[in-house]
Amino acid sequence: MRKMAMLEVKDLKVSYGAIQAVQGVSFRLDKGEIVALIGSNGAGKSTILRTISGLERAKGGSILFEGEELVRLKAHKIVERGIAHVPEGRRVFPGLTVTENLRMGANLLRDKAKITESLGKVFDIFPRLKERERQQAGTLSGGEQQMLALGRALMTEGKLLMLDEPSMGLAPIIVEEIFEVIKRINAMGTSILLIEQNAFLALNTASRAYVLETGKITMEGDSKALLDDDRVKAAYLGA
């Protein structure tokens, strides 16, 4: 008998007016995994993350997190359950300092000692943020803002981290650094659902992946097997 998934999405449907953005998508993520959703722009990847985190409403289907249905829950209740979402484009608060941005992620933590401990963990993972703790977020580089967005999500002390296009707009050397950190966060016990347009990067980071095309999953499997699949190579890897 297969164990219960940490996250199980079943027959999810999401529409924007007459447009069906997500058409009966099903996938699962087990505790401790990095699972990737890959696909071109407009495939529905971001909509799926936004629906899981309660920012969009499902028109049908089920989203189970540790066995609990999330579909009717408000976004802040979903964060309370242990799901943190790093949106596309980072969305830091530009007028606040690095530390103030991080503390915005700690709203669920009532214990001051716990907040200090979480800040320490984030600064350990991202020493550059410690160096810039009093600097306004709007003055950071794109890579530093991505680190800050990741750190803010980690401040929730969540069990599942959902990342939407973490490589977007960043120089290759910074992308490499960010993805090494993602692997480290996973090794520390956080499960990760990764959306990434760079399929090669995603498949080399995740253990399993799902391929999304126009709102439907067309392929799924072990990441290494998908890297070797001729259809994936032709569509996403430039081969």
pLDDT at position 1, please?
60
DSSP structure class, residue 42: T
**Domain residue extents for the chain:** 1-82+159-170+190-239, 89-157
> Between the CA atoms of 107, 110, 116 and 120, what dihedral angle is there, to the nearest 10 degrees?
-60
pLDDT at position 62, please?
97
Tell me phi and psi for residue 107, to 5 degrees.
-60, -30
pLDDT at position 216, please?
94
pLDDT at position 138, please?
92
Pairing, β 208-213 against β 191-195: unpaired
Kindly state the tokens that stand for 217: 């999953």
Each of the 239 residues of the chain gets a pLDDT tens digit; together they read 667 899 999 999 999 988 889 999 999 999 999 999 999 888 899 999 999 999 999 999 999 999 999 999 999 999 999 999 998 877 899 999 999 999 988 877 778 888 898 999 999 999 999 999 999 999 999 999 999 999 999 998 889 999 999 998 888 998 998 999 999 999 999 999 999 888 999 999 999 999 999 999 999 999 999 999 999 988 887 65
Q: Which CATH superfamily is domain 1-82+159-170+190-239 in?
A: P-loop containing nucleotide triphosphate hydrolases (3.40.50.300)
pLDDT at position 159, please?
95
What pTM was computed for the model? 0.91
Residue whose tokens read 């993972």: 125
pLDDT at position 2, please?
66
pLDDT at position 239, please?
52
